[in-house]
Amino acid sequence: MPAAEQVRRGEGVESRENIYTFVPNLIGYSRIVLAVASLYYMPLHPRTCSLLYSVSCLLDALDGYAARYLDQSTRFGAVLDMVTDRCTTACLLVFLASAFPRWSIVFQGLIALDMASHYMHMYATLAMGGSDESHKNVDKSRSFILNLYYTNRTVLFLCCALNEVFFIALYLLSFSSPLLSPGLLEQVPEIKQANPYSAAALELARANKMDSTVPWVIAIVSFPVMMLKQIINVVQLVKASRWLAEGDLKARRERRKNLKKGL
């Protein structure tokens, strides 16, 4: 077969490819479905919610493996994966902010840090590294900890997984532990007559639904890694900000140089 004909046939196959139906992206859609289902059960069904949420998170590792194994890595899939991660974590933290109102500012801060850190990092990568640059390609000269985080799959998986595990443990504790929310054990008569969908009624409905021993153990074990993940988010935010600022300074110098040449 002539080479030109082979090229035409190859181009025909590529043109028929549908990025949206690549296996890793199908796994990504299933993650979204599972996450939405977990949110539906979140207010009053801790075991069902935790199972659905955990499976959704674990599939995050599977879609990356499928992308590499099947040679189906795409920018659409990478963005879908990251957006799903950010949204599911934010939704869980929103619930925790309502379940533990005296700690709400902490959870709100974690949401803001997570969103800002990843947005700044992605934007800096696109603006400074070019459209073909992956946000996971972080040079050691820029940041050793970010390079280790993004290039070592074991580190990346453990940090992300145990970060989510810690928040799931806190979620389970909202159904059991009076240490974090003393109101769970207060049987106030007026609450029984409240709107069944009110915060007070839902708090009462969650009280003593499960034993707190296992969630406490999980929370204590995963807490150091969760803190490490937040430190990485701060480093990522600072490094991305500096990278953008360096680009701005370089652009301003070039502009001044061109103005002088024009004179």
Count Cβ atoms below 10 Å from residue 162 Cβ, excluding itself: 18
Alpha-carbon distance 14 to 23, whole Å? Answer: 16
Alpha-carbon distance 145 to 149, whole Å? Answer: 6
Q: Which residue in 60, 63, 81, 85 is the catalytic one? A: 85
Q: Which of 62, 65, 35 is nearest to 51 (CA)?
A: 35
| Dihedral (CA of 41, 44, 47, 53) sign | positive
Alpha-carbon distance 83 to 89, whole Å? Answer: 10
The answer to whether 60 and 96 are in contact (CB under 8 A) is no
The question of whether 248 is a catalytic residue gets the answer: no
Alpha-carbon distance 170 to 177, whole Å? Answer: 9
Largest interatomic CA distance in the chain? 85
The answer to whether 53 and 161 are in contact (CB under 8 A) is no
In the three-class reduction of DSSP (H, G, I as helix; E, B as strand; rest coil), residue 100 is classed as: coil
The answer to whether 111 and 94 are in contact (CB under 8 A) is yes
Indicate which residues carry an active-site annotation.
Answer: 85
